[in-house]
Amino acid sequence: MKKFSYLAVMAACLSTGLAAQAVLPEVSQAFSEVGLNVKAVADSSVPGMLQVQTDKGLFFISENKQYLFEGNIYDLKNKKLVNEDILKDIRKAGVKDFDDSVIEFKAANEKYVIHVFTDTSCGYCRKLHNEMADLNKAGITVRYLAFPRGGIQSATYDELQSIWCSKDAKQALTDAKNGKAVKQASCKNNVAQQYELGQSFGINGTPALVLPDGRLIPGYQPAAALVAALSQNAS
């Protein structure tokens, strides 16, 4: 698994200007006090605010370092989310870096490839997985990334590691989502890194779907709705 392209794209998207570069230590200190690890800082298009990429997603902070803003900022004049284009590029690069370690359910007539952060104990993850035949028939290839909602100390984390280390990971994942026991297995894996990647996107629940153009859909989508979403501005 290579992290270079993700970090390079993130750095390019959050190109650090002189003002942002000068306050990086101060911003890092301010964010550390609320438990966030700063990865990059940039001058924001919003006057009086800096844009900060962290291990838990994208945030904004006032230039005086007093006020931290979480969530999307909407540009009423231009009618768009200020941070969405940047996040799309970051997500696309991030999931691509893990393509050698996903569990893939490939469509025979592949039209789209989506990445799905999943948890074996999640009811809607199971519902989505049970519709895999419909998704594949619609030309959607699904690449799974692990996201144990309980964190890396949870039983689900251990189960996901066993799945990723199984000789037949696809079958092990399907078994787990059907409530069957998964044989314990161990190997060198990056389940923790996949979880951390999801957190850096601001994901806190599953399933979470990353579309080919970097859009993020939180939650379950039936095949028909997903095809409709994919057909909109797909790249």
- Separation of alpha carbons 119 and 125, rounded Å: 7
Q: Which residues are catalytic?
A: 119, 122, 125, 149
> Quick one: pLDDT at residue 22?
56
Q: Which pLDDT tens digit goes with each residue over 78-99?
A: 888 777 777 888 899 899 999 9
Higher pLDDT pick, 155 / 2: 155
Residue 226 has which token pair?
């997903």
Helices (H) and strands (E) in the chain, counts: 9, 11
Higher pLDDT pick, 6 / 4: 6
Q: What does the domain layout of the chain look like in residue ranges?
A: 4-94, 100-230
> Quick one: pLDDT at residue 207?
96
What pTM, to 2 d.p., does this model score? 0.79
Query: At residue 1, does pLDDT exceed 50?
Result: no
Are 104 and 143 spatial neighbours (Cβ–Cβ below 8 Å)? yes
Residue 3: pLDDT band by 50, 70, 90 thresholds?
A: low
Q: Which pLDDT tens digit goes with each residue over 104-149?
A: 999 999 999 999 999 999 999 999 999 999 999 999 999 999 999 9
- Separation of alpha carbons 95 and 58, rounded Å: 17
Q: Indicate left, alpha or beta for 70 from its phi (over 0: left) and psi (-120 to 50: alpha).
A: beta
Residue 36: pLDDT band by 50, 70, 90 thresholds?
A: confident
Q: Under CATH, which number does the domain 100-230 receive?
A: 3.40.30.10
Query: At residue 19, does pLDDT exceed 80?
Result: no
Q: Which pLDDT tens digit goes with each residue over 39-65?
A: 888 787 788 888 888 888 888 888 888
Residue 21: pLDDT band by 50, 70, 90 thresholds?
A: low
5, 34, 6, 4: which is closest to 197 by C-alpha? 6
Query: What is the architecture of the domain spanning 4-94?
Result: Roll (3.10)
